[in-house]
A and B are shown apart, each in its own frame.
Chain A
Amino acid sequence: MYTQALNTAETADRDLEDAGKAAQFQARIDAEERIEPNDWMPAAYRKTLTRQISQHAHSEIVGMLPEGNWITRAPTLRRKAALLAKVQDECGHGLYLYAAAETLGSSREELVDAMLAGKAKYSSIFNYPTLTWADIGTIGWLVDGAAIMNQIPLCRCSYGPYARAMIRVCKEESFHQRQGYEIMVTLCRGSEEQKAMAQDALNRWWWPVLMMFGPPDATSQHSDTSTKWKIKRFSNDELRQKFVDATVPQAQYLGLTIPDPGMAQDADGHWRYSEIDWTEFKQVLAGNGPCNRDRMAARRKAHEEGAWVREAAASYAAKRAQRQTAQAAE
């Protein structure tokens, strides 16, 4: 009982101290200072960032699968090399982001395990299939385009390691986006068959890409605190509108039709899109997209079949360390 009483007093002191720290923390954020791994931060800030950065990392890794589906079938050697390099970049982004998440105190293994157990999410867009070569162009153009729109503001995110990771990631994503658009330009300048392939890909990807920005502002759960902490600087709907406004002229240049007959430009020059089918979004998030099961199965397979390799590497490293210690003792 005595110790418990002492604990209570300590807790009260800590709460008081934490309130002071929290005020200081918010003042630093308001002054646009970066928060670094060893700085004090509220537990909820740490949790929010760990969730967001690890989801981002999982998205990069799962995102390797739909495009990886075309590496072995790319139509020319130049395209094959470019696609392989692109998917490899995504793996690099994943590694980089896991490292950023690790600075918040969770290991890569824990984070990956949560994803494989279905407890952590990744971007819903990767649950759609890549059916034709035009999908590779469309993913670069639209999916990477949407990712850039989301990620450019993250370069100014209050958490230092995440912001710095985003600077590098955005540079590479922007290259991918141009590469994707160049595939689309080539298709649209090609045969009727190629143009039809491009249009079909746009038809299938357009709405899922708009959903990448997340639920409408009216229903978004995380925005308020994320905005206060300067993790998020623009709302879902603001970013979505920016993306649509940037993309419509690009589609026009290609001679492609955005699959939204209700779309119209308003007096301010914004392209207003029709109602998004949020039931589909919810279904995909719930695991019922066209490829959710395949994506998870592929990641689990790679993880399980690679277990013996990781064990071998660990076992060899341990043996080597032991030998070195033994040698040093001689």
Chain B
Amino acid sequence: MSCANIQVSETPLVLYALRRADDALILGHRLSEWCGHAPMLEEDMALSNIALDLIGQARELYTFAAKVEGRDNDEDKLAYLRDVRQYRNLLLVEQPNGDFAQTLVRQFFYSAFADLYWRAMMNSRDATLAAIAAKSEKESAYHLRHASEWIIRLGDGTEESHRRAQGAIDHLWAFTGEMFAADDSECALIDAGIAVDPGSLRGRWLTTITDVTREATLALPRNDWMQQGGRSGRHSEHLGQLLSELQSMQRTFPGLTW
């Protein structure tokens, strides 16, 4: 494979799969950055586990996207040879790890969504997506439990942990709206029963978020401004840095087998 960017024919279904694959890969990559540096060995284990689940989901979704596209792309070309403007993940998942509170709040917001999303996707009319959903739903349920327990511990722990958890919620809240948006390319898939309408999940997501943060003695921001752009490749500056690391080998040594 050459080190130049690949071109992808983003038909609605290819684009749909790529968006979810990119979410899983980028969040998995972020979590993997903790490996060896977590606050306790148990969390080195847990965060790596979650990262592995997400990277596994990404691989299945990329492989599916490549198959639907029907050119000679594959999971590695899709992951390693698209530039920042071609990546389609949510802004939320590319946000830096920050401290442990920021990582866990990011995970909590995402997993609370992913849990509902994959459960609903188990009914997708596309058999491959339904199968990926069945596996991902089980994983997401565990990710949500892990993150929720930490939000409660941090919120209701010490003054410092409370302050940090609240700061992370306030900082990341504006990136949650993008999870529930669907553009024109997705509407047809939703109508066809292949995709689910993410907007329909927001009520239940908010209930989970509200219940957990209340138990954690934390507050949700009143500010309802929501930042968007990841789905169409308008990312934060953080993603380019992440990709330059993730893709460095394939860009430096083009076309080799590893």
Residues of A within 8 A of B (CB): 61, 64-65, 68, 71-81, 84-85, 87-88, 91-92, 94-95, 98, 133, 183, 186-187, 189-191, 193-194, 298, 301-302, 305-313, 315-316, 319
Nearest residue, chain A, Cβ from B76? A76
CB of A76 within 8 A of CB of B39, answer no
**Which residues of chain A are within 8 angstroms of B52 by Cβ–Cβ distance?**
81, 84-85, 88
With a cutoff of 8 Å between Cβ atoms, the chain B residues found around residue A72 in the complex are 29, 32-33, 245-246
Interface residues of B (CB under 8 A from A): 25, 29, 32-33, 35-45, 48-49, 51-52, 55-56, 58-59, 62, 75-76, 79-80, 99-100, 152-154, 156-158, 160-161, 164, 245-246, 248-250, 253, 256-258
The CA of A92 and the CA of B35, in the complex, are separated in Å by: 12
Q: Are B158 and A311 in contact (CB under 8 A)?
A: yes
Pick the contact of B153: A80, A187, A316 (CB < 8 A).
A316
Is A308 touching B161 in the complex (CB atoms < 8 A)?
yes
Given contacts A64-B35, A307-B39, A309-B39, 7 further A-B contacts (CB under 8 A): A79-B258, A88-B48, A91-B44, A298-B37, A309-B161, A310-B39, A319-B156
Question: Can you list 29 A-B contacts (CB < 8 A)?
Answer: A64-B44, A72-B32, A73-B248, A75-B80, A76-B80, A76-B258, A77-B25, A77-B58, A77-B62, A77-B76, A78-B59, A81-B52, A81-B59, A85-B48, A87-B36, A88-B44, A91-B44, A94-B41, A95-B41, A183-B258, A186-B257, A190-B258, A298-B37, A308-B161, A308-B164, A310-B40, A312-B158, A315-B161, A316-B153
Inter-subunit contact B48/A87 (CB<8 Å): yes
Inter-chain CA distance A183–B257, complex, in Å, is 10
Contact B36 A298 (CB under 8 A): yes
> Does A194 contact B157, Cβ atoms closer than 8 Å?
no
Which B residues touch A61, using CB under 8 A? Answer: 41
Whole-angstrom distance between the Cβ of B24 and the nearest chain A Cβ: 11
Task: Tell me which of A71, A78, A315 contacts B157 (CB under 8 A).
Answer: A315
**How many contacts A-B (CB < 8 Å)?**
138
CA distance A73 to B253 in the complex (A): 13
Chain A residue nearest in CB terms to B55:
A81
Q: Which residues of A contact B79 (CB under 8 A)?
A: 77
B256 near A194 (CB under 8 angstroms)? Answer: yes
A306 touching B245 by the CB < 8 A rule? no
Return chain B residues, CB-CB under 8 Å to A319: 156
Q: Which residue of A lies closest to B247 (CB)?
A: A73
Question: Which of B35, B40, B42 interacts with A71 by CB under 8 Å?
Answer: B35
Known: A77-B76, A87-B35, A319-B156. A311 touches B161 (CB 8 A): yes
A127 to B250, CA, bound (A): 28
The listed residue (A75, A92, A306) touching B38 by CB distance below 8 A is A306
Q: Please report the C-alpha to C-alpha distance between residue A313 and residue B104 in the assembled complex, in whole angstroms.
A: 14
A117 to chain B, nearest CB (A): 18
Q: Cβ of B59 and Cβ of A190 under 8 Å apart?
A: no
* Distance, CA A302 to CA B35, complexed state (A): 10
Bound together, the chains give a CA A78 to CA B76 distance in angstroms of 9
Provide the residues of chain B in CB contact with A77, threshold 8 Å.
Answer: 25, 55, 58-59, 62, 75-76, 79
A64-B79 Cα distance, complex, nearest whole Å:
25
Q: Establish whether residues B36 and A316, one from each chain, have CB atoms under 8 Å apart when the complex forms.
A: no
- Point out the residues of chain B lying under 8 angstroms from A78, CB to CB: 59
Minimal beta-carbon separation of A183 from chain B (angstroms): 8
B38 lies within 8 A of A302 (CB): yes
Q: How far is A76 from B63 in the complex, measured between Cα atoms in Å?
A: 13
Separation of A98 and B41 alpha carbons in the complex (Å)? 11
Say yes or no: B41 contacts A80, CB within 8 Å: no
Residues in A whose Cβ lies below 8 Å from that of B56: 81
Q: Contacting A68 at CB < 8 Å: which of B36, B41, B164, B250?
A: B36
Report the nearest B residue to A79, measured CB to CB. B258
How far is B55's CA from A64's CA once the two chains are assembled, in angstroms? 19
Instruction: Indicate the member of A64, A87, A88 with the most B CB atoms within 10 Å.
Output: A88
CA distance A298 to B36 in the complex (A): 9
Answer whether A88 and B249 are a contact pair too, CB < 8 Å, given A77-B55, A81-B52, A94-B41.
Answer: no
A75 in contact with B249 (CB, 8 Å): yes
| Shortest Cβ distance from B39 into A: residue | A306
3 closest A-B pairs by CB: A306-B39, A312-B157, A312-B161
